[in-house]
Amino acid sequence: MISAEKGSSSMMMNRVGSSILFTINGNVYPTGYYNVTINIGQPPKPYFLDLDTGSDLTWLQCDAPCVHCIEAPHPLYRPNNDLVACKDPLCAALHPPGDYKCESPDQCDYEVEYADGGSSLGVLVRDVFSLNYTNGVRLTPRLALGCGYDQIPGASYHPLDGILGLGRGKSSIVSQLQSQGLVRNVVGHCLSGRGGGFLFFGDDLYNSSRVTWTSMSQEFTKYYSPGIAELYFGGKATGIKNLISIFDSGSSYTYLNSQAYQALTALLKKELSGRSLKEAPEDQTLPLCWKGRKPFKSVRDVKKYFKTLALAFASNSRSKTQFELPPEAYLIISVSTDLTP
């Protein structure tokens, strides 16, 4: 997924090597999440941050001291005294309009909540991020991040140092880098079917002629949303329409609403009727699983039985832009070597 904002300043136009590249670790299954390593502080220390295009704020579990912190791969972040003031525009961007009160003028308090029920409470600080352009040039910008001293784990809990907020708001790391003239406001990631991948900020790492583009919605501006989608199966319309779609790297799986999910699974079952694959209700990895005559080694063993899914987004032209999901993108092999979507 690649997203770009218009209106980049002229400061960035002539920069050379203006992209920043990170290695991604993790997978959809069995790990269930992706993260990158970023060095923060003086001296710089490494932290594993979960990627989240669905939220803006980057935060670390913080020894401020910590009221409630969950298990972390590294020692808690020790903040400096560079607090972000309550009246700072970055602080205002973290609060809903009309619900922004400065009870402590010298600091910016925040609270973020996530769809899985998790949350982080803390204060906003500034610190040095040690980053590298793809041409080898090192940069050390001071960026705002959350010092999280009270975390509640969500349903998708796992040990983490913090969250890398990549959303569209002013407080996201990409927006802050863009405002300092360091990169264009473009974020992209490539995830391998074998796990891992890479994340980049900036626009000089891809051939734009080989990218399928679609506009982001002006209605759902808080998220990377191409707007309303229609579901296709095997190149044909399913009749499943009006799906509000959001690109969210913080979610391990692609989710459909209940009605669309039931309709899609019905199509899959119909397609597999009479085939050698049988449903495996004893495998509880996901709600729907299949097994074969012998254990599966990879999705390639059964790819011929499944068709490509696609989400079609309305664009400015008469044609629709399609985001294709081949079988490898919506099937996994469980630890029981069964197949599950």
Indicate the residue among 204, 233, 265 that finishes a domain.
204
Residues 177 and 238 in one domain: no
Q: What is the CB neighbour count within 10 angstroms for residue 257?
A: 12
- The answer to whether residues 98 and 195 belong to one domain is yes
Instruction: Determine the structural domain holding residue 269 and report its residue range.
Output: 212-340
Give the tens place of pLDDT for each residue, 259-272: 999 999 999 999 99
Tens digit of each residue's pLDDT (9 = 90 or more) over 316-333:
556 789 999 999 989 988
166, 248: one domain: no
Among the listed residues 56, 203, 248, 283, the single catalytic one is 248
Phi, psi (degrees; rounded to nearest 5) at 272: -90, 0
| Pair (52, 123) in one structural domain | yes
- The CATH number of whichever domain residue 326 belongs to comes to 2.40.70.10
* Residues 263, 137 share a domain: no
Residues 266 and 335 in one domain: yes
Please measure the distance between the N-terminal and C-terminal CA atoms of the chain and give it in whole angstroms: 21
Domain count, the chain: 2
| Shared domain check, 54 and 139 | yes
- How much is the mean pLDDT over the chain? 89
Residues 242 and 199 placed together within one structural domain of the fold: no
What does the pLDDT look like over 103-124, one tens digit per residue?
Answer: 888 999 999 999 899 999 999 9
Mean pLDDT computed over 24-36 = 92
- Do 304 and 175 lie in one domain? The reply is no
Query: What percent of the chain stands above pLDDT 90?
Result: 63
- 45-52 and 162-165: which strand pairing? parallel
Name the phi and psi angles at 303, rounded to 5. Answer: -55, -35
Q: What is the pLDDT of residue 316?
A: 59
- Asked if 173 and 39 sit in the same domain, the reply is yes
Tens-digit pLDDT profile for residues 182-199: 999 899 999 888 889 999
Q: Let me know if 56 is a catalytic residue.
A: no
Of the residues 50, 52, 203, 283, only one is catalytic, namely 52
Q: How far apart are CA 11 and CA 190, in angstroms?
A: 27
Helices (H), 111-220: 173-179
Same domain, 25 and 159: yes
pTM over 0.75: yes
Mean pLDDT for the stretch of residues 295-315? 88
Rounded Cα gap, residues 186 and 184, in angstroms: 6
Residue 335 confidence (pLDDT) = 83
Determine the average pLDDT of the residues in 302-312: 92
Specify whether 248 is catalytic: yes
Q: Where does the pLDDT of residue 126 fall: very low under 50, low under 70, confident under 90, or very high at 90 and above? A: very high
The verdict on 185 and 82 lying in the same domain is yes
